[in-house]
Chain A
Amino acid sequence: MRVIIAEDLALLRDGLTRLLRDNGIEVVAAVADGESLVREVLARKPDLAVVDIRLPPGYRDEGLRAALELRRRVPATAVLVISQYVEQTYAQELLADRGGGVGYLLKDRVMHVADFLEAVRRVADGGTALDPEVVAQLFARRRHTGPLERLTPREREVLGLMAEGRSNAGIAEALVLTIGAVEKHVQSILSKLDLLQSPGDHRRVLAVLAYLQSED
């Protein structure tokens, strides 16, 4: 797997590069701002770009803008956005084009190396990785409405992991369940929430997120 990193803080840029390289992932370039990111991605066509939201010159959301530009111009490159903060607004902007291969994680998640690498691979393969914090925000938003309350606590856990973008196998591993048990939970959730079983993990994420974001 070939990866480009865009992070303005040298300490974190080098740390990320080392972490990925130590785990057998090729880092083809590590840049410090959004413009060079777009340039390097167009030149080297990596599988994945790992992008910090806050980049020079404005130190606001230049990274996010660069990531959105990449998704438009080079859809083949997956994008994993990392940040010190997660905002549901940004998640919506990233997921707006409905394509797969997108991730949005807190920088803290890097500390759980195995989970982080799993998310990196999943996004590079066209899947989704959404930070549990974003999912928690979405859940909080829907707390006043009925259908979520019909779910058992276990089903709510499974729904959260589905929204994060995990596959059934990933959910099974995280909750220490068999894949069969997870499949049963997923079926039950989809029918309780009136969602259609959609092919592909990313489609499933979109359906779940659309449900959680809907207003009523």
Chain B
Amino acid sequence: MSPLVATLRDPVTYRRLTYLLVGMPLGLIWFVALITAWSMCLGLIVTPLVIPLLFVIAFMTRGFAAVEAELARALLGVDPRAPALGAPVHGPAGFWARLRALFGADFWRAQAFLWLRWFVGFPVGVAMLSLLGAALGMLFAPMWFPFVPGGAHVGLWQAHKLLESLALVPLGAVLLLLTIALANPLGAAFRPIAAALLRGPEDQADQAEPNRQTSTLAATTRTPPSRRALSAHAVASSALAALTIVIWAVTSRGYFWPIWVVLPLAAALAIHAWRVELGERPALVKRFRGSCSLATTAGVVTVLWLFTFAVWAITGHGYFWPVWTLLGLGTIVISQSVAVLMSSPRNAEMAERIEQLQSTRAGAVNVQESELRRIERDLHDGAQARLVALGMSLGMAEQKLAEDPKRAGELLAEARAGAEQALRELRDLARGIHPPVLADRGLEAALSALANSTPMHVSLSVDVPERPKPPVESAAYFVAAEALANAAKHARADWLDIRIARIGHRLEVEIRDDGMGGADANGSGLTGLRRRVEALDGTLTVTSPPGGPTTVYAELPCA
């Protein structure tokens, strides 16, 4: 009983109840607005009007999501530090870059959340409201039953007399309390979903997210995040499709309406898969004259046309109207191809690439600059100072040699100890710049030497049949070395799992520990690493929720 009482006395429960109830009107509003906008979009797809409409959808989604984010913050207590949606998009300059930022991952997450609010939130809201209504009705049955013809109704049972209606009161009270208590777990279920989906754009989202689950099992390693997202999408789509088909099967079984759910889902999934494929196989982009945007458009247009073709086929053939869609979409592809063919360095792709190169080069120069400064400082404070002291000891020994040979011997021993210390420091410094064994024997030997020098238990798996170029190899090494140092120093981990594999033209590095997490992805060590990796056109992702575990994942292209 006491957990129920505690739940009922907890103000959190009432906030969650409010959140669930609010889902009813909000879910309806989001649904009506979005379904209208997207249908108009589909309808106008062959006309230029679709472009302003897409902008309307983008801003509408952000606005709705901002409202939801505020609600989640106020009523569900989702981490207020998480960056909000709805904030203006700070992105790289350039029309295409802005456009891409506008329809970035945050946009689709927000879309997903708004639809979820309709498909799940609305029915839940309705159910909660009905339960509350029923409970209140029973609770106050003695007051209103005389005014209603036929008395108070509860299922098959009717209360015509005062005594009968009084019996309903305790029933109503129990139902009321249970309904309120039910709001607690139901609201809690929305918490992680809201936290995961109502995040801001990717570059702000590096900071720790308490509710995002990092994979702790080996099954998901080696799979890049984009693949994982695609499989999640595929699973979600199939589930939704299966659900509608089941609903159709158990209800009317008449007209096969679920096709209207399955088709758009399949189209969206196909576009997503095409994007992932393009990201993973740069060779594919080369067929489109190296233009990523043309390749993307070609895929999207193909999917959209197949979609309209399917619509035509399903809706009873007849007049072949998709020819107009084909014409419209074809015009887009042809004009973009012409633009790419006639491309000059002022082309948007190139401009964007130049921008990216400028920023990564600046990063690389910064890293180098601060590295050199660190080395200079280490030399100055370490080996140089020791050599000065060594020279002094030797000079004094020389002086004492004739009159006090014993003291001279002591000074010489001191000098030797100083020389040894200087050598040790220089060795450590040199190893920090570039470990010789890495150049001589490659990643596996260098990393196993590193693994041997730490008290943690390190499991190492290196699957690199052909040695990558030295800069890639040493970047991979230093990613692992930094992750290892952090795990030992900050995360207080006991074991560490290092996996390096060459997959096609990419080198993947993943380091996981069992430490306490909470790593600062913007700390100096990780920032330096990120710049080093980005200078090689790679990416570095750090996932480190408070409480752990920490995963550092780097992808380096090695053609």
In the complex, the answer to whether A141 meets B427 with C-beta atoms within 8 Å is no
Chain B: CB-nearest residue to A139:
B452
Chain B: CB-nearest residue to A64:
B440
A61 located at the interface, meaning its Cβ lies under 8 Å from any Cβ of chain B in the complex: yes
The secondary-structure label for the interface of chain B is: helix
| Contact pattern, A 83-117, Cβ under 8 Å of B = 1, otherwise 0 | 01101111000000000000000011001100000
Chain A nearest Cβ from B495, distance in angstroms = 10
- The one of B419, B427, B431, B457 in contact with A111, judged by C-beta atoms closer than 8 angstroms, is B419
Q: Which residues of B sit under 8 angstroms from A54, Cβ to Cβ? A: 436
Q: How large is the interface on B (under 10, 10 to 19, 20 to 34, 35 or more residues)?
A: 20 to 34
- The one of A88, A107, A108 in contact with B449, judged by C-beta atoms closer than 8 angstroms, is A88
| Contact pattern, B 437-449, Cβ under 8 Å of A = 1, otherwise 0 | 1011100010011
Q: Which residues of A sit under 8 angstroms from B441, Cβ to Cβ? A: 61, 87, 89
B333 located at the interface, meaning its Cβ lies under 8 Å from any Cβ of chain A in the complex: no
| Contact pattern, A 73-85, Cβ under 8 Å of B = 1, otherwise 0 | 0000000000011
In the complex, the answer to whether B419 meets A89 with C-beta atoms within 8 Å is no
| Contact pattern, B 414-446, Cβ under 8 Å of A = 1, otherwise 0 | 001001100110010011000011011100010
A176 located at the interface, meaning its Cβ lies under 8 Å from any Cβ of chain B in the complex: no
How many Å lie between the Cα of A141 and that of B445 in the bound state? 14
B316 located at the interface, meaning its Cβ lies under 8 Å from any Cβ of chain A in the complex: no
How many Å lie between the Cα of A72 and that of B437 in the bound state? 23
Q: A84-B427, A111-B416, A144-B457 are in contact. Are A60 and B440 (CB under 8 A)?
A: yes
A137 located at the interface, meaning its Cβ lies under 8 Å from any Cβ of chain B in the complex: yes
Q: A85-B431, A89-B445 are in contact. Are A140 and B439 (CB under 8 A)?
A: no
Q: How large is the interface on A (under 10, 10 to 19, 20 to 34, 35 or more residues)?
A: 10 to 19
Chain B nearest Cβ from A130, distance in angstroms = 15
With most chain B CB atoms within 10 A of its CB, the pick from A88, A89, A143 is A89
Number of A-B residue pairs at CB separation under 8 A = 45
How many Å lie between the Cα of A111 and that of B455 in the bound state? 30
B453 located at the interface, meaning its Cβ lies under 8 Å from any Cβ of chain A in the complex: yes
Chain A: CB-nearest residue to B417:
A111
How many Å lie between the Cα of A108 and that of B452 in the bound state? 21
Chain B: CB-nearest residue to A111:
B416
Chain A nearest Cβ from B270, distance in angstroms = 48
In the complex, the answer to whether A140 meets B453 with C-beta atoms within 8 Å is yes
Q: Which residues of B sit under 8 angstroms from A137, Cβ to Cβ? A: 449, 452-453
In the complex, the answer to whether B416 meets A89 with C-beta atoms within 8 Å is no
- The one of A84, A112, A140 in contact with B452, judged by C-beta atoms closer than 8 angstroms, is A140
How many Å lie between the Cα of A108 and that of B441 in the bound state? 23
In the complex, the answer to whether A85 meets B427 with C-beta atoms within 8 Å is yes
In the complex, the answer to whether B452 meets A60 with C-beta atoms within 8 Å is no
In the complex, the answer to whether B452 meets A85 with C-beta atoms within 8 Å is no
In the complex, the answer to whether A60 meets B439 with C-beta atoms within 8 Å is yes
| Contact pattern, B 391-431, Cβ under 8 Å of A = 1, otherwise 0 | 00000000000000000000000001001100110010011
In the complex, the answer to whether A87 meets B445 with C-beta atoms within 8 Å is yes
In the complex, the answer to whether B455 meets A89 with C-beta atoms within 8 Å is no
| Contact pattern, B 70-112, Cβ under 8 Å of A = 1, otherwise 0 | 0000000000000000000000000000000000000000000
How many Å lie between the Cα of A3 and that of B34 in the bound state? 87
Chain B nearest Cβ from A209, distance in angstroms = 14
In the complex, the answer to whether B420 meets A108 with C-beta atoms within 8 Å is yes
Q: Which residues of B sit under 8 angstroms from A108, Cβ to Cβ? A: 420, 423-424
Chain B nearest Cβ from A145, distance in angstroms = 11
Chain B: CB-nearest residue to A141:
B452
In the complex, the answer to whether A85 meets B453 with C-beta atoms within 8 Å is no
Q: A84-B427, A108-B420, A111-B419 are in contact. Are A61 and B440 (CB under 8 A)?
A: yes
Q: Which residues of B sit under 8 angstroms from A90, Cβ to Cβ? A: 437
Chain A nearest Cβ from B422, distance in angstroms = 10
In the complex, the answer to whether A89 meets B437 with C-beta atoms within 8 Å is yes
Chain A: CB-nearest residue to B420:
A108
Q: Which residues of B sit under 8 angstroms from A107, Cβ to Cβ? A: 423
Q: Which residues of A sit under 8 angstroms from B424, Cβ to Cβ? A: 108
Q: Which residues of A sit under 8 angstroms from B449, Cβ to Cβ? A: 87-89, 137
Chain B nearest Cβ from A18, distance in angstroms = 17
Chain A: CB-nearest residue to B444:
A89
Q: Which residues of A sit under 8 angstroms from B452, Cβ to Cβ? A: 88, 137, 140-141
Chain B nearest Cβ from A57, distance in angstroms = 14
Q: Which residues of B sit under 8 angstroms from A84, Cβ to Cβ? A: 423, 427, 430
How many Å lie between the Cα of A107 and that of B422 in the bound state? 13
How many Å lie between the Cα of A89 and that of B441 in the bound state? 9
Chain B: CB-nearest residue to A61:
B440
How many Å lie between the Cα of A88 and that of B446 in the bound state? 10
Q: Which residues of B sit under 8 angstroms from A144, Cβ to Cβ? A: 457
How many Å lie between the Cα of A90 and that of B448 in the bound state? 12
In the complex, the answer to whether A143 meets B431 with C-beta atoms within 8 Å is no
How many Å lie between the Cα of A89 and that of B440 in the bound state? 11
How many Å lie between the Cα of A117 and that of B437 in the bound state? 27
How many Å lie between the Cα of A111 and that of B416 in the bound state? 7
How many Å lie between the Cα of A60 and that of B457 in the bound state? 30
How many Å lie between the Cα of A87 and that of B427 in the bound state? 12
- The one of A60, A88, A143 in contact with B455, judged by C-beta atoms closer than 8 angstroms, is A143
Q: Which residues of A sit under 8 angstroms from B440, Cβ to Cβ? A: 60-61
Chain B: CB-nearest residue to A65:
B440
How many Å lie between the Cα of A87 and that of B430 in the bound state? 14
Q: Which residues of A sit under 8 angstroms from B445, Cβ to Cβ? A: 87, 89
Chain B: CB-nearest residue to A60:
B440
Apart from the given pairs A54-B436, A90-B437, A140-B453, 8 other A-B contacts in the complex at a CB distance below 8 Å: A60-B440, A84-B430, A108-B423, A108-B424, A111-B416, A111-B420, A112-B416, A137-B449
Q: Return 10 A-B CB contacts under 8 Å, by A number.
A: A54-B436, A60-B440, A85-B431, A85-B437, A87-B449, A88-B449, A89-B448, A111-B416, A137-B452, A141-B452
Give the 3 A-B CB pairs with smallest separation, nearest first.
A61-B440, A89-B445, A87-B437
